[in-house]
């Protein structure tokens, strides 16, 4: 959908995807997966920060 404002500028809006209704089981599963993935990535980042500090003596090598 293209809309032209009163100043002659063109606004192009993205098309919105159709809404999907999820049941409670699907929603809970997705939330659990998101929490698990977030926790695993946080642990990986923490271990990487400790490894960088041990090997270089800097928290973020090249910055601090």
Domain positions in the chain: 22-64
DSSP string, 44-57: HHHHHHHHHHHHHS
pLDDT, one tens digit per residue, over 6-54 is 787 877 766 677 888 878 887 788 888 999 999 999 999 999 989 988 9
Instruction: Return the exposure string of 23-41: e unless at least 16 CB atoms fall within 10 Å of the residue's CB, then b.
Output: eeeeeeeeeeeeeeeeeee
Higher pLDDT, 3 or 49: 49
pLDDT at 1 over 60: no
pTM value is 0.55
Which region holds residue 19: left if phi is over 0, alpha if psi is between -120 and 50, else beta?
beta
The pair of structure tokens assigned to 24 is: 């409670």
Interacting residues of 64 by C-beta distance below 8 A, sequence separation 6+: 58
């Amino acid at each position: 959908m293209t809309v032209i404002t009163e100043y002659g500028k063109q606004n192009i809006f993205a098309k919105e995807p159709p809404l999907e209704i999820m049941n409670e089981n699907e929603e809970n599963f997705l939330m659990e997966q998101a929490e698990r993935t977030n926790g695993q990535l946080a642990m990986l980042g923490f271990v990487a920060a400790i490894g960088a500090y041990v090997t270089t003596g800097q928290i973020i090598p090249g910055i601090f």
